Every structure is written in C-alpha cells, then in structure tokens.
Amino acid sequence: MITKTKKQEIFEEAAKLFQEKGYGAASMRDLADRVQLKASSLYSHIRKKEEILQKICSDQAHRFTEAMGEVEKMKVSEGKKVETLLSLHIRTALEDPTSITVFSDEWKHLEEPYLSEFLERRRDYEQRFRDIIQQGIRTGEFQSLDPSTILYTLLTAIRWLHYRQRPDSSMDAEKLEKEVVSLLMGGLKIGSQLVS
C-alpha cells in the first residue's frame, strides 16, 4: 500500500467536503479538522482554497476529453459510440462519485481565468459529442430529434448516479450501467430493445 501524502489527503478530503456542503459552505477550518491540521497549516500544501476546486474540476475534465479522443477513433456505429460514452460517464460516476459531484455541481464557483478555461473545454467536449449524435441521425440510426436536446438529455440523465451513497448490494455497478444504457438507448416503452 502506497502511503498517501498529506497533500493527497487534503485533496481527497476536500472533494468529500465540497460534495457534502457545497464549495461555498465548506470552510478551510472544516477541511483542516478532517485532515487533523490547523487551518493555517493547509497553506503549506496549497496556495488557496480555489486551487483545490480547480484541480478537481480540471482533472475530471481531462479524463472526459481523453476518452472522447479514444471514442472518435473507433470504427463502429454511432450508436456504439454513444453507448461507450454513456458507459464511461456512468462508470466514472460510480467509481469516483465525490470528484464527479464537485465537477458537476461546484464548477460555477471557479474564478477567472479558470472558469473560462473550464467552460471552453466543456463546450469542446459537448460539440464533439453532438457531432456523433448528428452523424447518427444522418445515417438513420437515431431518432431525428434536435441534437442538442439529445445531448443534454443523455448527459443529464445520469447525473443522479453520483448521489447514491453506498452501492446497493442488490444492484451492482455493472447491472446499473447496463440498465441505464438500455433505458436511454431503447426507451422506457417495450418495442425496440435489442438482444445483446
């Protein structure tokens, strides 16, 4: 087992704290208590509070951008690409729920210039996702709906996963992933579900 540095411990505990109370309501004293330091000692490891938020957000953003590059290179149908991206989002939400919560809900507390950088990166990711959707509509694989409507509905639909507190034993991650993808790709109503 690799020993965690104090800095790592601070970042991990901060993510949990931001998730629980929100960035604004989480104080450096709260955080210090959790890592058994005085608040002032935190500043031997970080420059400022926002630096923590910034790192969490940009790490997660980087993760998604990289995966998008992989998916774009795949020689498969657009349906398969969307499924792959959805699976990635779902798996990430289940594996690292705290970071994903902060990334999803607390980015708006970023200050410039990080805020603009974050938003630009997100716009880029969304555009590339939208391009895949658009191509799927063109080939007749997808319903002919507004691509942005599809994009945001799909991306938002999985944002409850990271709120699940403890993994329900009756519902393992793999099953959950399969069910959500099936629901989004095939719809609630019986009719179009494919046997995989």
Site residues for DNA per CB under 7 A: 6-7, 26-30, 36-41, 43-45, 47-50
CB atoms within 10 A of CB 60: 18
Among 4, 7, 24, 127, binds a second copy (CB under 8 A): 24
Please answer whether residues 118 and 53 qualify as being in contact, where contact means their C-beta atoms are separated by less than 8 angstroms.
no
Q: 45 or 128, CB closer to a second copy?
A: 128
Instruction: Show the tokens assigned to 5.
Output: 């540095």
41 contact choice in DNA, a second copy, none (CB below 5 to 8 Å, kind-dependent)? DNA
Per CB under 8 A, does 179 bind a second copy? yes
Per-position x/- string for 69-88, each x denoting binding to a second copy as judged by CB under 8 A, each - no binding: ----------x--x------
Cα–Cα dist 150/144, whole Å: 10
Cα–Cα dist 124/15, whole Å: 25
Check residue 160 and report its DSSP letter.
T
Instruction: Show the tokens assigned to 122.
Output: 């997100």
Q: 7 or 62, CB closer to DNA?
A: 7
Instruction: Show the tokens assigned to 37.
Output: 């330091």
Which residues contact a second copy (rule: CB under 8 A)? 22, 24-25, 79, 82, 105, 108-109, 136, 140-143, 145-146, 149-150, 152-160, 171, 175-176, 179-180, 182-194
